[in-house]
Structure 1
């Protein structure tokens, strides 16, 4: 697998005045993580990962419009398929509740489920690439999966989506029975 195509530099800034909080923000092409000076290297590494995930989640929640989704698909096609997959339209839809995306190769149209909105970028990118691959290869045969091998986060994204589906199938948690306050005497059989 190859590295992330657009890694950002991470700068960790330690502060003696900072006691317990950790924060992060984007500064151009760099991510700055602010941590307490006393933090160990292991804690630093863990918190950098946590903060990068939080920033990515915040950025993904900014919903892409259909025009941005189309631009993203074109960029992904260029990067992974040499611009061979050329969709005529890419848009969000609200009528796909059992699929993450769909493609009509004859029309060159790609539709992504609104349920993907707010998921990490790499997951949306994977679903876009999956549908773009269908513009080149119908079905899910060996040639189709070969195309998707170029995307380094294919397995991670598939695992994420499988987890979402599994979580949706879990029964809703039941509320525990209310505790009896200690100031109220328990009933006694006489």
Structure 2
């Protein structure tokens, strides 16, 4: 019977060149010591994702997406106050709508249980449901951009969706929110159901 020596840190696969995701670079590090676990953390303006060396390219891509979403959700749990939310809305307006949407107020509300967000264009006010708190940042940003676009275009006609095309994660965020809605409608399984 032979015993293989455990791989040393020096045997880890060198990290690939970082790729960009949103505003930060993503660096994937493969390790032969990792068997099943995947983890990620922020290091300055980079995100480091640690994966097992045996993972395929497709698995790597899937896990990078999963871990970016988890980190974003953790970060958004550190709840933004209304002031930070307003500053974020202004940045998003500048980035995706040419700065044309200028909200007078942006705030969290606890009385919106059937909508993710709403706005009153005449007042320039935007309200986001507290249920968004803890969701990934790109989802909150989507709802903010959605409401900002309504300050410029009422309704959901072609002009509105043309504005929304500027936000690159629109479809992904909509899918996430649809999944949340679907999950709340599912019957909760009994403890014996999974066994």
Scaled by the length of structure 1, what TM-score is found? 0.80
Partner of residue 70 from structure 1, selected from 86, 108, 129: 86
Higher mean C-alpha deviation, range 9-18 or range 79-88: 9-18
How many residue pairs were aligned?
A: 175
Q: Tell me whether 1:162 sits opposite 2:162 in the alignment.
A: no
Structure 1 residues 1-190: aligned runs within 5 Å = 6-15=22-31, 21-37=37-53, 41=57, 43-176=59-192
Deviations 1:80-137 (A, max 9, x none): 1111100010000000001111101111100000011111111111111111111111
Give the CA deviation at 1:57. Answer: 2.0
For structure 1, which runs of at least 5 residues remain unmatched after alignment? 180-190
Q: 1:147 to 1:46 in 2, by over 3 A?
A: closer
Higher mean C-alpha deviation, range 78-87 or range 38-47: 38-47
- SS of the equivalent of 2:90 reads helix
Scaled by the length of structure 2, what TM-score is found? 0.78
Q: 1:176 to 1:90 in 2, by over 3 A?
A: same
**Which one has more relative contact order, counting CA pairs under 8 Å at least 6 apart?**
1
Give the CA deviation at 1:36. Answer: 4.6
For structure 2, which runs of at least 5 residues remain unmatched after alignment? 1-19
Moved over 6 A (4+): none
Q: Distance between the aligned counterparts of 2:110 and 2:78, measured in 1? A: 17
- The higher radius of gyration belongs to 1
Q: 1:20 to 1:65 in 2, by over 3 A?
A: same
Give the CA deviation at 1:174. Answer: 3.0
